[in-house]
Amino acid sequence: MRVLLCDDEENIRTLMRRFLNLDGIDCDTAENGLSAQRMLRESVYDALLVDLRMPGMDGLSLIRWLRAEGFRMPCIMISAHGDISDAVSALKEGADDYVVKPFDPEELTIKLKSLVEASNLKNLVEGSKRLDRLIGESAEMLRIKGIIARAATSSATVLITGESGTGKEVVAREIHGQSNVKDGPFIPINIGGVPENLLESELFGYEKGAFTGASARKIGMFELASGGTLFLDEIGDMPLSLQVKILRVLQEKKMTRLGGTETIPINARIVAATNKNLEEMVKDGSFREDLFYRLNVVRIEIPPLRERREDIPLLAAYIIKKLSRDMSSRITGFTPEAVEMLKNHNFYGNVRELENIIERAMIFSDSETIDVKDLDLRSSVSRDMEKKEDLRTLSDAKSLRDLERDAIVAALHRWEGNRTKASEELGISRRTLISKIKEYGINL
């Protein structure tokens, strides 16, 4: 198990890391939310422990970002303040539990292991609490269902595109479920969620002794998906160095494990997905043109939820039925006013945002029907509002000096005071950064 501990108190970070390590848990630490954000993008973690109040980015903001980005790992909020409103806010934003300092490290570890085990079991049995069927009767969704029915019976590679949260994995599972290999495994891998240095071994596997730490043979995703479907999610995040190897596998239908010599035939249906514009990436050289055409045999573009609002009531009804079963809840539906409120929301987080809003409403609702007062849409800030807020922030800035100082402070927080890394991110020399720190009187 690998966890990330985010706390601005160095003694807490040191003591908890030692305690967790003694219990066989790998623990990385971050001293603020911005630093944790960077680490979550770079590595894969089973759980997050996060302090409530920190400089740079507080715990609630980090959890809000975490859930908006689609991270599903369990999250425990830690705080020195035992205010019940803090606990409620943490749970509303997506925390799984809440503890107050000073806490018993052993109890926290037990709670952490329990949450991770429950999460792993749920993912294994259900795939997740997320939508597992393609719901919708709009013209666009009927068109997509027609494409799926035709594509599923062939062995052609399918490329699914659309914004985050539109249900690309749901479409991939529908293709698998209607295909000739439906009785085989469905193996998903999020390319963007695996560190670049581990991605090749995850896909191709390796032989014992292939590199330091390779104590036994590992079967890769391509082999595991044999006789079934391999779903390459966020294919646009694949590094160029690996794209040529993927292309070779798709062309030759065979591969070799890292450190091995044996050629292994690959018999897996390939479905890929991305929220990026691959055509533009091909033009700027960040995605191989030949790989793009190899993937883009059958194209399925999923429209955002705000462009098919007539599907929102159907989706909401399905989600509440599924969550009621999963959560053993007595809640069975919505008031007409609540449905209308959902239909008028922009849902820039798409179906994933709709699920989060409904799940949060079910947790805090006191009746058997979700009403307008139960729907907290304020935490789901639309991009229009974000843009307005950005413009307001810029217009309120006293000068460019304020913007420059804020950028320097944020970069220093992200790199936990490492001036060399911060200067590289800002595109200035270390000497210039030190000069600016003195000029602005920055003291983290």
Q: What pLDDT is stored for residue 398 in this prediction?
A: 56
The Cα 220–Cα 226 span in angstroms is 10
DSSP label at residue 376: -
d(CA 205, CA 219): 5
pLDDT at 381: 43
Residue 292 pLDDT > 60, yes or no?
Answer: yes
Classified as helix, coil or strand, 257 is coil
CB 233 within 8 A of CB 168: yes
- In the predicted model, what is the mean pLDDT of the chain? 84
SS3 3: strand
Domain 397-440: give its CATH code: 1.10.10.60
Q: What interhelical angle do 33-42 and 59-68 show, nearest 10?
A: 30
Give the mean pLDDT of 67-84. 75
Query: Quick one: CATH architecture of 306-374?
Result: Orthogonal Bundle (1.10)
Contact in structure between 318 and 133 (CB atoms under 8 Å): yes
Q: Which of 56, 64, 97, 57 is nearest to 79 (CA)?
A: 97
Better pLDDT: 126 or 45: 45
Q: Locate 162 and state its tokens.
A: 């659309």
How does pLDDT run across 112-151, given as a tens digit for each residue?
888 887 766 555 444 444 455 788 889 999 999 999 999 9
Q: List residues bridging with 258 in a β-sheet.
A: 206
Cα 64 off chain centre by: 12
Identical fold, 2-126 and 139-303: yes
Tens digits of residue pLDDT in 95-123: 888 888 778 888 888 888 888 877 665 55
Q: What six digits make up the tokens of 326?
A: 């999963």
Q: What single DSSP character describes residue 411? A: H
User: Phi, psi at residue 280, to the nearest 5°?
Assistant: -70, -35
Domain ranges of the chain: 2-126, 139-303, 306-374, 397-440
pLDDT in tens, 302-332: 999 999 999 999 999 999 988 888 788 888 8
Confidence (pLDDT) at 279: 95
Q: According to CATH, what is the number of the domain 139-303?
A: 3.40.50.300
d(CA 374, CA 364): 7
CATH number at 2-126 = 3.40.50.2300
pLDDT reported for residue 383 = 45
Maximum pairwise Cα distance, the chain: 67
